[in-house]
Amino acid sequence: MRNCEYQQIDPLALSVAPASVQNLTDKKAERLRRKWEVFPGKNRFFCDGRVIVARQSGVLPLTLGLIVVTCGLFFAFDCPFLVEHLTVFIPVIGGVLFVFVVLSLLRTSFTDPGILPRATLDEAADIEKQIDTSGSSSYRPPPRTKEILINQQVVKLKYCFTCKMFRPPRTSHCSLCDNCVERFDHHCPWVGNCVGKRNYRFFYSFIISLSFLTSFIFGCVIAHITLRSQSGKSLIQAIQESPARYPLMELVICFFSIWSILGLSGFHTYLVASNLTTNEDIKGSWSSKRGAEESGNPYTYNSILANCCVTLCGPMPPSLIDRRGFLSPEESVPTVSASEIEVPSFAAKNDANMCTQSTKDVLERMLHSSASYGLCLLGTPKTTPVGLEVTGAPARAAETSPTERCWHQTADAPCSPFSTSSTSDSIHSINPAFRLASPSPSLGRAMLVLDEAPDVSFIP
Amino acid sequence: MRPFKLWQQAAIAAKVFIQRDYTNGTVCQFQTKFPSELETRIDKQQFEETVRMLNNLYAEAEKLGSHSYIEGCLACLTAYTVFLCMETHYEKVLKKIAKYVQEQNDKVYAPRGLLLTDPIERGLRVIEVTIFEERSLTR
């Protein structure tokens, strides 16, 4: 077999309780599903796809809690005193900063960071065909990198086994969210989301405004305590007198926050000014110390102002994942399921494990999908004899009757064989057929692979 | 290439993917190289003209001019809430691109048995050109 050295998905790990396939044909007319419902990454969606967060919310509630509590204490205990002794603008400024901080935080957390949708079956097959042009029967793992020239500098593009495409420059795959994110900066647990191309400016405004807010509150609390101690009392007495000693708590929170937030703001200001991402900076991608050649950042505009403008004030790119779009019959689940199942054919162990879990999730979702028969991966079996290729489907047309039956049913067809099969052979043999998802000019190779596939017995 | 039937009642013979061109950085540009599979179907210049026009439109969407800076600064001042009610410049240009693709399909590609897919539906990764096999089911 061509892919006999590839990692296999453990079919037992994929065992999903098979839903009754017959019912699904009735459901297909019920309601159109939105694309977010079949999204393959580890994200959660709210408000019918309008809001997207990472699966693990991290410490976002803690972040919000700290901000709200600190500001609440500030408004409750410091503002009355300071309004009386200083100026009425103190709570106004505090209020504006607080609103700005919370809005930026929510915007960072709930915005799509620049997730790249995974490649469709046809695309993945086309890429594979291009990188494996030898077309020989001998097994060779696909090369993982591709070198391109960007602004006269050589940049390596890596192949993402999960998303089945060569990652664009500056794109990285976040293992927590299981997505490729454009201009990936980092996954921020405080914010509970990845920080990437689309929400970096929100993140930056969040940390800058938070720096101002914490510094402002810190200053106000110091002023409060100082003013109280000015009227002849000692500092300790002044603290004891202040309402419930809460200013002390604010002081402590602000003191520790300031060091970390100001440091982070400074670091990100440096990144913005040099048009770098945290990911690139940590890896030292453009550090001149690496290698013998001078390799500068190919994306910089060589001007601090230009870099800042581009990063923060550039045009707002659209979300590529189209969460709220409706699934049309032909473009539903197959792109996800087959691509997930196809992964182990040449994935490293980590990728295979990752994909097993995500494939299982996908299969579970698919079993409850109500997509129509048209999107059935396997096309119309009756008119497709074995050996022919079907777009987006393994050409196992005449295999067994259970398979045929499931093809006629719904899009859940692809998952039924996998969910019930208990032999590794079934996954094994399906792989080459899946790999040839799109009609390939090199039909000879297709025929060769299909002939080599062992017979599969599907259990309905 | 062997044709086969799909739900669309039209046989898809092949799909060609025009990949992104990153020589100028991460801006959205597609390679203008004419794919060999389309040689029998369409004029090289016609195709390259389409891709060039698409590239120009994407460049317009991502252009860093005073318009985008004003939009960015306004958004920042309003804590980015303005994006909730206003369509961004990029989105406006994407609509223009969708219209252009539709128009090209109607006038140029459909009569030749081809179909262009709007790149936004493929995450701006590729321009997918579907080659249809007309009428005959088998060869």
Question: pLDDT for A102-158, tens place per residue?
Answer: 999 999 999 899 999 988 888 888 888 877 664 554 555 556 788 888 888 888 888
Distances (CA, A) of A442 to A385, A445, B14: 18, 6, 11
Interface contact flag, B137 A313, Cβ < 8 Å: no
The per-residue pLDDT for range A76-101, each reduced to its tens digit, is 888 888 888 888 889 999 999 999 99
Q: Is residue A403 part of a domain?
A: no
Residues of chain B with pLDDT under 50: 1-7, 136-139
Q: Which residue of B has its CA nearest to A335?
A: B122
Is residue A375, in this structure, part of any structural domain at all?
no
The pairing of beta strand A145-150 with beta strand A153-160: antiparallel
Comparing alpha-carbon positions, the chain A residue that sits nearest to B61 is A315
pLDDT digits (tens, 9 = 90+) for B103-122: 999 998 888 888 999 999 88
Output the CA torsion A146→A150→A153→A154 (10° steps): 0
Strands (E), A249-315: none
Weakest-pLDDT range from A141-145, A226-230, A265-269: A141-145
pLDDT computed for residue A260 by the predictor: 92
pLDDT band at A330 (very low <50, low <70, confident <90, very high): low
% of chain A with per-residue pLDDT over 90? 18
Q: Provide long-range contacts, Cβ within 8 A and 24+ apart, for A40-47.
A: A40/A118, A40/A178, A40/A336, A40/A340, A40/A358, A40/A361, A40/A362, A41/A115, A41/A177, A41/A178, A41/A179, A41/A358, A42/A176, A42/A177, A42/A178, A42/A179, A42/A358, A43/A115, A43/A177, A43/A179, A45/A323
- State the best of A122, A153, A331 to mutate against chain B, taking most chain B CBs within 10 Å: A122
| Distance separating the N- and C-terminal Cα atoms of chain B | 9
Least Cα distance to A177 among A198, A158, A163, A159 occurs for A163
Q: Could you report the per-residue pLDDT of A7-18, keeping only the tens digit for each?
A: 444 455 444 444
Share of chain A above pLDDT 70, in %: 57
Binary contact (A316, B124; C-beta < 8 A): no
Side-chain half-sphere exposure of A277, counting CA atoms within 13 A: 24
Question: How many CB pairs below 8 Å do chains A and B form together?
Answer: 148
What value of ipTM does the predicted structure carry?
Answer: 0.85
pLDDT at B102: 93
Is residue A261 pLDDT above 90, yes or no?
yes
Give bridge partners of residue A52 from the DSSP assignment: A45
Nearest-CB residue to A314 (from B13, B64, B120): B64
Cross-chain Cβ contact B137/A439 below 8 Å: no
Alpha-helical (H) ranges within A189-233 are 200-230
> Does the structure show a pLDDT above 60 at A333?
no
Q: Which residue of A has its CA nearest to B77?
A: A100
Q: Residue A195 pLDDT more than 90?
A: yes
pLDDT of A74 > 70? The answer is: yes
| Distances, alpha carbon A44 to alpha carbons A38, A94, A112, in Å | 11, 33, 11
Give residue A239's domain range: 44-116+190-287+296-327
Q: Confirm whether A420 is domain-assigned.
A: no
In a domain, A36, yes or no: no
Tokens (6 digits) for B3: 């044709």
Specify if A24 maps to a domain: no
Mutate to test the interface with A, among B5, B16, B17, B96 (most CBs of A within 10 A): B17
Q: Does the model's pTM come out above 0.90?
A: no
Tell me if residue A165 falls in helix, strand or coil: strand
**Cα–Cα dist A202/B121, whole Å:** 26
Q: Is the pLDDT of residue A31 over 60?
A: yes
pLDDT score for A42: 82
**Position A263 confidence tier, pLDDT thresholds 50, 70, 90:** very high
Residue A308 lies inside a defined structural domain of this protein:
yes
Task: Choose among A150, A299, A384: nearest Cβ to B4.
Answer: A384
Segment A417-435 shows an average pLDDT of 40
Task: Give residue A332's Cα distance to chain centre.
Answer: 19
| Whole-number Å distance between alpha carbons of A386 and A347 | 28
Model confidence at A277: pLDDT above 60:
yes
Complete DSSP assignment for A315-343: --PPPSS-TTSBPPGGGSTHHHHHHHHHG
Beta strands in B24-125 (DSSP E): 114-117
| Confidence bin at A272 (pLDDT 50/70/90) | very high
Residue A369: inside a domain: no
Worst-scoring range by mean pLDDT, A331-340, A443-452, B27-36, B62-71? Answer: A443-452
Q: What is the pLDDT of residue B5?
A: 41
Name the burial class of residue B87, with classes exposed (0-12), middle (13-18) and buried (19+) by CB atoms within 10 angstroms of its CB: exposed
Highest-scoring range by mean pLDDT, A112-116, A241-245, A248-252, B1-5? A112-116
Q: Which of A313, A382, A408 would you mutate first to test chain B, the one with the most B CBs within 10 A?
A: A313
Looking at every residue in chain A, the average pLDDT score rounds to 69
**pLDDT band (50, 70, 90) for residue A332:** low
Which pLDDT score, from 0 to 100, does residue A222 have? 87
Residue that is written with structure tokens 């013998």 in the block: A292
Domain locations in chain B?
3-33+43-132
Per-residue pLDDT band for A375 (boundaries 50, 70, 90) equals very low
The number of folded domains in chain A is: 1
* Residue A103 to residue B79, Cβ atoms within 8 A: yes
pLDDT of residue A403: 40
The predicted pLDDT at position A364 comes to: 54
Chain A residues closer than 8 Å to B14 by CB: 438-441
